[in-house]
Amino acid sequence: MKSDIYQDGIKQLARTMIASNKLDQPDTSVRLDNRLCGDRVDIELCCNDGVVTQLHHKVRGCLLCEAATNIVAQHGVGATIAELENITEQLINFLNNNDNSSLPFISSWQKLNLFSPVSQHKSRHQCVLLPFQAVQQALAEICQ
């Protein structure tokens, strides 16, 4: 368990969170807590024709949670519901896989590869997944 999850790329992501304003009329708002550590992510979303058009985020969490939220914030707008579902599923598998030899994320989501060392730390998976799960929950509410 010596892998360094606190590498510069992760720290950089966490420290350079893109600014976000609350949405005037979000289609849905979701607050998700990590019941183990108290991390909290708030997500507001607007969607049009299956594409995320606006996204507001607020995070109170650890470095991993902040870094993951920043990736969602950077690349969530413009993504389709299907793409976000797929990326979340892929991220879950990536963390559970515990296989650092493959770095599967490409294009706009490739920064998720930075979380490769987290796969060895089961108790930290939820820190990375929390913003993605919040987005999933928000999308599910929109699709209902």
Partner 1 sequence: MSLVNLMLDKPVIDIEVLRKQVPMLNIEHDTHSFTYLDYASTTPMPTCVLQAMWDHETHTRSNVHRASYQLAERATQAYWQARQSVARYLNATKAEEIIFTSGTTAAINMLAYGLEHQLKAGDEIIISPAEHHSNLIPWQMLMQRKGIKLKWLPLSTDGRIEVSQLNQLITDRTRLVAITHASNVTGAITDLAVIIEHTKDKDILVFVDGAQMAAHGPIDVQALGVDFYAFSGHKCFGPTGIGALWAREECMTLLQPLMGGGGMVQWVTPEQSEFVTGYQRFEAGTPPIGQAIGFGIALEWLLSLPWTAIQKYERQLTQQTLNMFRNIPGLSLLGPQDSNQRLPLFSFQLDKCHPHDICHLLDQKGLALRGGHHCAQPLLDYFDVGAVCRASLSFLTLPKEINRLNQALIEAIEKLA
38 sits near partner 1 (criterion: CB under 8 A): yes
Please work out the total of residues on this chain that contact partner 1, with binding judged by CB under 8 A: 19
Query: Which of 17, 23, 51, 63 is the binder for partner 1 (CB under 8 A)?
Result: 63
Residue of 65, 44, 19, 67 lying closest to 139 (CA atoms): 44
CB 87 within 8 A of CB 132: yes
Dihedrals φ, ψ of 61, to 5°? -160, -170
Of the listed pieces 62-70, 92-100, 102-110, 131-139, which binds partner 1 according to CB under 8 A? 62-70
Residue of 67, 72, 66 lying closest to 138 (CA atoms): 72
39 sits near partner 1 (criterion: CB under 8 A): yes
Sites of contact with partner 1 (CB under 8 A): 1-2, 5-6, 11, 36-40, 60-65, 121, 124, 127
